[in-house]
Amino acid sequence: MLEKCYTLVDGYRQFDFLTCVRYLNHLGRKQYGSSFSINPDDRFILHKLISYAIGSEERCQEHGIDLSKGILLTGPVGCGKTSLMTLLNAFIYPDQKYQVKNTRQIASEFHKEGFEVIHKYGMREKAFCLDDLGIEHTIKHFGNECNTIGEILLQRYELQVNQRIITHATTNLNADELEAIYGIRVRSRLRSMFNLISFPIDTCDKRK
Ligand SMILES: Nc1ncnc2c1ncn2[C@@H]1O[C@H](COP(=O)(O)OP(=O)(O)OP(=O)(O)O)[C@@H](O)[C@H]1O
Ligand SMILES: [Mg+2]
């Protein structure tokens, strides 16, 4: 069984893409069951995500990825965004590891706990992944005057600018749809917060 995905050379981690993919498969099976299997069609996107997660400046440059920004992983329903963002944590340096938190759960916490929740996530001085941007708006009974996730995004933008603390996110929505939900102030900051990495729109739903 694969115990790790790199070898140490002079104290530096050395990665090899195929070993990383095998390791992801191994972790995916452990976490999501034996039917988990990296789809060969996803290799291109995985190359970008793994390059980012291992912090390879050279590979990231090739892909136009900026390591000082987070990842905004977009794609159709069920293509594997949440699973991948969760599994990629295994490659990330300890001080950059992030919690993956669904926006629906945050909306639910806001409903119970109020504005404190915005500070809890907006000002948390650690990398963080907002999973499923926009989905919280489909929960009508949490409907509130306050745009909870939009406010958190604005606060996390400040964290990035002032303290270089990174935020990641996943979503099914495109930039216009995100703007319709969170407003132009959020949209204008998205580009400087995130590297956009997108699954093609015809990527299969892995729930099927
Ligand atoms: N490579 C894979 N092989 C098999 N199953 C997978 C794979 N990736 C994800 N899955 C499974 O497919 C389902 C959907 O994955 P996931 O929740 O990561 O998708 P998503 O893109 O986040 O979906 P949504 O848009 O609904 O948030 C999950 O049950 C997950 O365990
Ligand atoms: Mg998801």
Q: What is the C-alpha to C-alpha distance for residues 81 and 73, in angstroms, rounded to an integer?
A: 6
Residue nearest to atom 11 of ligand 1 (CA): 206
Ligand 1 pocket, 82 CB below 6 A?
A: yes
Confidence of residue 2 (pLDDT cuts 50, 70, 90): low
Residues ≥6 apart with Cβ < 8 Å to 11: none
Confidence of residue 9 (pLDDT cuts 50, 70, 90): confident
Ligand 1 pocket, 132 CB below 6 A?
A: yes
Residue nearest to atom 28 of ligand 1 (CA): 207
> Cα(81) to centroid of ligand 2, in Å?
5
The domains of the chain are located at: 6-198
What pTM was estimated for this model as a whole? 0.94
* Least reliable range by pLDDT among 126-140, 160-174, 192-206: 126-140
Ligand 1 pocket, 207 CB below 6 A?
A: yes
> Cα(9) to centroid of ligand 2, in Å?
36
Q: What is the pLDDT of residues 46-101, one digit of tens each?
A: 999 999 999 999 999 999 999 999 999 999 999 999 999 999 999 999 999 999 99
Ligand 1 pocket, 136 CB below 6 A?
A: no
The stretch 150-179 carries a mean pLDDT of: 96
Residue 114 has pLDDT above 50, yes or no: yes
CATH homologous superfamily of 6-198: P-loop containing nucleotide triphosphate hydrolases (3.40.50.300)
